[in-house]
Amino acid sequence: MIGRWIFVRGQAMGRRGWLALAALFAIALGLFLPLRLVLGMAMPEALSARSVEGSVWRGRIADLNVGPLPLGTVEAGLSPLPLLIGRPELALSREGFAARIAPGRVRDANGSVALPDGLGGLPVTSLGFGDFSAIIDGSACQEAGGTLSMTLASLGPLLPDAMTLSGQARCEKGALVVPMRGPQGMERLILRIGGDGRWQADLTLAGLPQETADALKASGFDARPGGIGIGTGGTF
């Protein structure tokens, strides 16, 4: 009986049995794989965070920053379907914002992100996203779409109100470009992000009273055809 039991047990753990056992082990490992390992191995280098908790499918990231963008504390997890084609993608969500990010791409970004430190030399208080997507592959913008908006704080006593500009994203000469306009059509801002991570933002204001224009020139704006403007830039 003992010999027969050993024979049956050996049959049950044949090649198929071992493959099934290995598959179960891989599934169990995947279910409980820590999210922090995935962030270190498969996500963009521009990501930084105070802490990462939970599994790869359902976790939480505290004080997440994507480049210069502080996203705060978000719920995060890998999206299953992109994994089938070998492209890990992280789904992020919190109240008022959601997006899916992967190396060189962002898609389905909706909501707003506060910028307490502004954006370079511009007093940008928040960025807004509307079905925003972009793919930068091979150091060049390959595909872009959706809406991006910027809200600027008051530019001085003579322009006390906040200003929101928005526009459609597109690829242009290898860069991600978003030409934005304000509510009056006299405010224009062009945001350009290169494949190397360098970005530039150029704001132009037209139709201002001379007194207002002179005050802004004193604060760093320069004269331009039909108005005044200021530029800033940096690196993600």
Would you list the DSSP string of 35-103? HHHHHHHHS-TTEE-SEEEEBSSSEEEEEEEETTEEEEEEEEEE-HHHHTTT---EEEEETTEEEEEET
Residue 61: exposure state from Cβ atoms within 10 A (0-12, 13-18, ≥19): buried
Domain ends where: 88, 103, 118? 103
In this structure, the answer to whether residues 113 and 192 fall within a common structural domain is yes
pLDDT at 1: 44
Please write the tens of the pLDDT for every residue from 172-192: 999 999 999 998 888 999 999
Query: Nearest to residue 148, comparing CAs of 191, 119, 104?
Result: 191
pLDDT cut 70: percent of the chain above it = 83
Residue 210 lies in a domain: yes
In this structure, the answer to whether residues 139 and 205 fall within a common structural domain is yes
Residue 18 lies in a domain: no
* Domain carrying residue 68: 33-103
Residue 14 lies in a domain: no
pTM value? 0.82
pLDDT at 72: 94
Given a contact cutoff of 8 angstroms between Cβ atoms, the answer to whether 89 and 76 are in contact is: no
Residue 203 lies in a domain: yes
Q: Residue with structure tokens 């006593």?
A: 157
Q: Is the pLDDT of residue 29 over 50?
A: no
pLDDT at 17: 44
Number of domains in the chain: 2
Please write the tens of the pLDDT for every residue from 94-109: 999 999 998 888 999 9
Residue 205 lies in a domain: yes
Mean pLDDT, range 136-149, rounded to an integer: 92
In this structure, the answer to whether residues 86 and 182 fall within a common structural domain is no
In this structure, the answer to whether residues 151 and 227 fall within a common structural domain is yes
